[in-house]
Amino acid sequence: MKRLTMTFGASLLALAAGAATAQNIRIGLQEDPDVLDPHRARTYVGRIVFTSLCDKLVDIDPKLHFVPQLATSWSFSPDNKVLTFKLREDALFHDGSKFDAAAAKANLERAMTLPDSLRKGELASVEKVEAPDATTLVLTLKKPDATLLAQLSDRAGMMLSPKTFTDDAAAVGRKPVCSGPYKFVERIQNDRVVLEKFDQYYDAKDYAFKRVTFLPIPDTTVRLSNLRAGDLDMLERLNPSDAPQVKNDPSVTFAPVAGLGFQQFMFNVGNGKRAEDNPFKNKLVRQAFQYAIDRNAINEVAGGGIFEPAQQPFPPASPYHSDKFPVTKRDVAKSRALLKEAGFERVKAELVFGNNTTTSSVAEIVQAMATEAGFDLSLRPTEYAALQKESSGGNFQVVMLGWSGRVDPDGNIHSFVTCKGALNDGHYCNPEVDKLLNEARTVPDEAKRKAIYDQAQAIIQDELPGVYNYYQPWPFALAKKVKGFTPYPDGMIRLKGVTFAQK
């Protein structure tokens, strides 16, 4: 706790300095971002920072339609194996170099080949990238890929200055040079990320703020108190239990939106030494755990009624959500019977989770429920960026992780459950699941694609490499003076057209 106090004290100094000018918008984040390199990053809050820092080839609108950003238009060949983009001619990187097709080619090839790139799987269908002229980018695919445009509307499509690509790959994330409306100024770990307006940005006139300061404040009570005190202008992920009072608070604006993502429990079934003696390696124990938890109670107690219970990775708004998999109801007797069948009277295990108010509350509720069903769960709260490292390294038995969600259904399932999926931290592997999910990537017809996902889910729902908990809402809260903000289902903060009201 002492470390948190010191870190937050430093943040207060930053807030005080920023308050001297109305041109600075201060945004409270629930966690500290991980590396600021879109090819190597994996956190939700990192994506929020990237939204102001790094333009993409394609973006989405509030209705989840794809819209131009660095690409002005795109088209597929009749066989869906060649994707051609026409690019903007007026975009610059923050170092003054010009964005063109050659730069886009260099970025995509880096994302596809960098040893620790997390975008490799997202671009696995791309066979080659060509730049026949400055404004034309051509992607030739190994096979049709129904997910590709969605991938390029996220980190896989973010553009960095190729001048920064050196043998020291880590240097990119220390001082990222992108082409977005704001450029990087400084980062102090666990304290702040500061961006400054890029005056040569092609849409600069639509961005009102001279500076954007992101402040990681894991404690939701502290985050809200600072918004009310005027030390923050916006915060993401308001504590759901605070939603009723915030709705009635004339000093702030509540701006929630239904999201695309989910919160889940992932089991370590094959990642390193922690998997070897993990009771959750047994499918029956995983099934017992699911019957031990009451998702409705989690929604009511921790979620303030906005944590909609989840059984599958596709939210109800998605056309790929299936009515074949209703939410499992809590059944303590069945949970105990499954443990007995697996050879356990009681199961001792450790639950790892991000150290913030909301997830801590959920973890404590789950611990109490699981105790009644025969699980003795110890809790290990972990700073979120460290949690990502612990999870990918296999230092867990069961971990609670959030996913911000993707427009295309592939982004909510493939990386988590395929044998070599970049986000499959539990190392679950079933070749039949891989076959089905890889096939789904090639099928553009919605009904046929949904049928394939249903087949894959039938296997996953039985084997339970993870248990979905609830669908992730995005409850934003804003100072009353903030005008023009539109929440998007992807949970990103887009500052185009956002202003402070004149006094």
Residue scoring higher pLDDT (437 or 2) = 437
pLDDT for res 22: 54
The Cβ of residue 254 has, within 10 Å, a number of other Cβ atoms equal to 17
Q: pLDDT tens across 128-166, in order?
A: 999 999 999 999 999 999 999 999 999 999 999 999 999
pLDDT over 70 for what percent of the chain?
96
What does the DSSP assignment read for 174-220? HS----SSEEEEEEETTTEEEEEE-TTSTTGGG---SEEEEEE---H
The C-alpha atoms of residue 157 and residue 121 are separated, in whole angstroms, by 13
Nearest Cα to Cα of residue 141 among 444, 442, 411: 442
Helix (H, G, I), strand (E, B) or coil at 481: coil
pLDDT for res 208: 97
Beta pairing partners, 190: none
Judge whether residue 3 has pLDDT over 50: no
Please state the φ and ψ torsions of residue 56, each to the nearest 5 degrees: -115, 170
Judge whether residue 4 has pLDDT over 50: no
The confidence band for 225, taking pLDDT boundaries of 50, 70 and 90, is: very high
Contacts of 43 (CB under 8 A, 6+ apart): 31, 33, 34, 384, 385, 388
Strand bridging mode 136-141 / 126-133: antiparallel
Q: pLDDT tens across 278-304, in order?
A: 999 999 999 999 999 999 999 999 998
List the alpha helices (DSSP H) in 374-442: 384-392, 414-417, 431-440
Q: How crowded is the C-beta side of 263, counted as CA atoms within 13 Å?
A: 23
pLDDT for res 20: 39
Beta pairing partners, 496: none
Residue scoring higher pLDDT (18 or 499) = 499
N-terminal to C-terminal alpha carbon distance within the chain: 39
The confidence band for 244, taking pLDDT boundaries of 50, 70 and 90, is: confident
pLDDT for res 290: 98
Contacts of 124 (CB under 8 A, 6+ apart): none
For 285-340, give the secondary structure using H, E and C.
HHHHHHHHCCHHHHHHHCCCCCCCECCCCCCCCCCCCCCCCCCCCCCHHHHHHHHH
Contacts of 475 (CB under 8 A, 6+ apart): 237, 238, 240, 243, 254, 255, 256, 306
Judge whether residue 483 has pLDDT over 60: yes
Q: Which residue has the tokens 């690509």?
A: 165
Judge whether residue 322 has pLDDT over 60: yes
The Cβ of residue 323 has, within 10 Å, a number of other Cβ atoms equal to 7
Judge whether residue 103 has pLDDT over 50: yes
Q: pLDDT tens across 55-98, in order?
A: 999 999 988 889 999 999 999 999 999 999 999 999 999 999 99
Judge whether residue 336 has pLDDT over 60: yes
pLDDT for res 392: 95
The C-alpha atoms of residue 64 and residue 20 are separated, in whole angstroms, by 37
Judge whether residue 174 has pLDDT over 80: yes
The Cβ of residue 324 has, within 10 Å, a number of other Cβ atoms equal to 10
The confidence band for 316, taking pLDDT boundaries of 50, 70 and 90, is: confident
Nearest Cα to Cα of residue 185 among 211, 158, 159: 211
Q: Is 463 exposed, middle or buried (0-12, 13-18, 19+ CB in 10 A)?
A: middle
Nearest Cα to Cα of residue 292 among 405, 398, 416: 398
Nearest Cα to Cα of residue 48 among 223, 213, 246, 190: 213
The C-alpha atoms of residue 195 and residue 181 are separated, in whole angstroms, by 9
Helix (H, G, I), strand (E, B) or coil at 67: strand
Q: pLDDT tens across 369-401, in order?
A: 999 999 999 999 999 889 999 999 999 999 999
Please state the φ and ψ torsions of residue 24, each to the nearest 5 degrees: -105, 120
Strand bridging mode 211-216 / 24-29: parallel
pLDDT over 90 for what percent of the chain?
88
The arithmetic mean of pLDDT across residues 422-441, rounded, is: 97
Contact yes or no for 193/176 (Cβ under 8 A): no
Contact yes or no for 353/361 (Cβ under 8 A): no
The arithmetic mean of pLDDT across residues 183-189, rounded, is: 98
> How far are the Cα atoms of 69, 82, 84, 153, 155 from residue 66, in angstroms, in the given order?
9, 18, 15, 8, 15
The confidence band for 21, taking pLDDT boundaries of 50, 70 and 90, is: very low
> How far are the Cα atoms of 122, 136, 137, 497 from residue 157, in angstroms, in the given order?
10, 15, 12, 23
Q: What is the model's pTM?
A: 0.78
pLDDT for res 6: 37
The arithmetic mean of pLDDT across residues 346-357, rounded, is: 96
Judge whether residue 478 has pLDDT over 50: yes
pLDDT for res 465: 98
The C-alpha atoms of residue 179 and residue 163 are separated, in whole angstroms, by 13
What does the DSSP assignment read for 129-145? EEEEETTEEEEEESS--
Please state the φ and ψ torsions of residue 183, each to the nearest 5 degrees: -110, 155
Report the mean per-residue pLDDT for the chain.
93
Judge whether residue 9 has pLDDT over 80: no
Token digits of residue 61: 């609108």
pLDDT for res 15: 47
Residue scoring higher pLDDT (56 or 357) = 56
